[in-house]
Structure 1
Amino acid sequence: MENTRLNIGLEHLTQIDGEAGQKVIDSLEDICPDLARFTIEYPFGDIYSRNGLDLKSREIATVAALTALGNCQPQLKVHLKAALNVGCSEEEVKEIILQMSVYAGFPAALNGMFAFKEVLNEHGA
């Protein structure tokens, strides 16, 4: 069962963000491979594979949450890229981040927008 969860998780993560899943596994291999596996199995193997929301809606929620948290820049950048990969437009992502200024404050929104600017610059947009 666990291997199936891992495979399903890797499939979803690859669909969302290319080879990011393998990079996570590789980066944790020498210190805690179980954390890598859990990071793939639960969010991407269990949650992302549920019915009820499409991948675009899930990434909108994820970008909003990570922006609101304000202290998750590496993870936010991964999901900003993922949002674009699953069909969010640049304008939609900007609006999601701007919306968070109301609920999470300007510092969180500024951090989110600067992270998005980096993502766009990295991908030549």
Structure 2
Amino acid sequence: MQDTIERQAGQESRLERGKRVLSEIDGKAGEKVIDSLADIAPDFARYLLEFPFGDIYSRPGLDIRAREIATIAALTALGNATPQLKVHIAAGLNVGISRDEIVETIMQMAVYAGFPAALNGLFAAKEVFRDHV
């Protein structure tokens, strides 16, 4: 997947690249987030596509799998981003991160972000795992 992203990166606008990368990572969940912003902040939806997905996720250096592990760790550590954490846990599953790896990533955050943040992350993962087919 990373090879495809890098190959196509030079031929697309930031917005086009962002839409493609978001779709590859999050599937329908990413589209729902973008669509939910259409009536309140369409410019923010565009920024979300262009910067995180069009610029950062499509950079060389880390593959998508590593980027999702880092994102799951960061969102867990924040402790106040459960909806986004759930989207990225599902995205992690979509890009080949195992349930065990997700649980270990979240548990690791207990050391740096505390037990409450890790517990909230584990409960979010439990919900995603239950609903993920």
- Is 1:91 matched up with 2:117? no
Report how far residue 54 of structure 1 moved.
Answer: 0.1
> Which ranges in structure 1 are unaligned for 5 or more consecutive residues?
none
Contact 1:17 1:85 in 2 (8 A): yes
- Is 1:22 matched up with 2:31? yes
- Is 1:115 matched up with 2:124? yes
Contact 1:6 1:40 in 2 (8 A): yes
Q: After superposition, where does 1:15-54 map in structure 2 within 5 Å?
A: 15-54=24-63
User: What TM-score, normalized by structure 1, do the two folds share?
Assistant: 0.94
Question: In angstroms, what is the RMSD of aligned CA positions?
Answer: 1.1
Query: Hey, what's the Cα distance between the residues in 1 that align with 2:111 and 2:91?
Result: 24
Report how far residue 6 of structure 1 moved.
Answer: 1.0
> Which ranges in structure 2 are unaligned for 5 or more consecutive residues?
1-11
Provide the aligned length of Structure 1 versus Structure 2: 122
1:55 to 41, 60, 64: 64
The one-letter code of the counterpart of 1:28 is L
Query: Hey, what's the Cα distance between the residues in 2 that align with 1:54 and 1:42?
Result: 17
Give the share of equivalent positions with the same residue, in percent.
Answer: 66
Who is 1:75 aligned against?
A: 84
Contact 1:13 1:20 in 2 (8 A): no
Contact 1:21 1:40 in 2 (8 A): no
The one-letter code of the counterpart of 1:76 is L
